[in-house]
Every structure is written in structure tokens, then in C-alpha cells.
């Protein structure tokens, strides 16, 4: 079956703009998590959605938000972009058959100028 799909793969924005990233999980997976990856900081947890409800949330400012649709697809939005928001944003889905394993997408690389 198809893996986790993220769009767009690359994007460039300027400070103050906003951005929306999309993630389609593996078919049948209802949980989608978002992570920010930067050099030296590893994978920092943003939030996790299950059945359209946010289940967990990391320590990011309110500029970072997300949502999940009834088909389990998820979007992440960052408003009022700052230079420090430049990063690789990874989403991951989890299934009931192996809830521990996260299946990652290839990520959306955001550059803020």
C-alpha cells in the first residue's frame, strides 16, 4: 500500500507569511503526528491527531496549528513565519496493528527568507 505522502516537498516563504502543509497517511491509519526537524535539535514533536481530534501537543507557539479531516488527511499551518521556522517538517502515521511504529513521510522542507 502507498506510504505517507506529504505536499509540497519544498517551499520558500518570506517572513510574516503563512504556510499550509499537507499529509496523507497510510490507508487505514487514523493517527497523524507532525514533527519539526532541524540540525542539532532532532525531531521535535508538534502535535498528533486521531479521529479529527488533537490528542497530544508539543511545546510550540500558537502560530503552529493543525487539523485532521474525516479521511484522516492532516494539514499543518504556520502563521506569521519567522526565520527560525526554516526546517524539515515531517508527518508520520500510526496504525492500530502496530501503534508503536511511526511511518514517516519524506517531509516538507520550508525555507523562510
User: Footprint of other proteins on this chain (CB under 8 A)?
Assistant: 4, 31, 33, 35, 40-45, 48, 50, 55-56, 58-59, 90, 94, 99-102, 104-107
CB of 40 to other proteins, least distance (A): 7
CB of 80 to other proteins, least distance (A): 26
Cα–Cα dist 92/42, whole Å: 15
CB of 3 to other proteins, least distance (A): 8
Cα–Cα dist 48/50, whole Å: 7
- Of 6 and 112, which CB lies nearer to other proteins in the complex structure? 6
- For residues 104 and 75, the answer to whether their CB atoms sit within 8 Å is no
CB of 56 to other proteins, least distance (A): 4
Cα–Cα dist 47/32, whole Å: 8
- Of 41 and 70, which CB lies nearer to other proteins in the complex structure? 41
- Of 29 and 85, which CB lies nearer to other proteins in the complex structure? 29
Q: Name residues whose C-beta falls within 8 Å of residue 67's C-beta, 6 or more positions apart in sequence.
A: 49, 52, 74, 75
- Of 82 and 106, which CB lies nearer to other proteins in the complex structure? 106
Distance of CA 97 to the CA centre of its chain: 22
Amino acid at each position: 500500500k502507498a506510504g505517507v505522502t506529504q505536499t509540497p516537498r519544498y517551499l520558500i516563504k518570506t517572513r510574516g507569511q503563512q504556510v499550509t502543509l499537507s499529509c496523507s497517511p497510510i490507508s487505514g491509519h487514523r493517527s497523524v503526528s507532525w514533527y519539526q526537524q532541524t540540525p542539532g535539535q532532532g525531531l521535535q514533536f508538534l502535535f498528533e491527531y486521531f479521529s479529527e481530534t488533537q490528542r497530544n501537543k508539543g511545546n510550540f507557539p500558537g502560530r503552529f496549528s493543525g487539523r485532521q479531516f474525516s479521511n484522516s488527511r492532516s494539514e499543518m499551518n504556520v502563521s506569521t513565519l519567522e526565520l527560525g521556522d526554516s526546517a524539515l517538517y515531517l508527518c508520520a502515521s500510526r496504525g492500530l496493528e502496530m501503534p508503536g511504529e511511526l511511518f514517516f513521510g519524506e517531509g516538507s522542507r520550508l525555507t523562510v527568507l
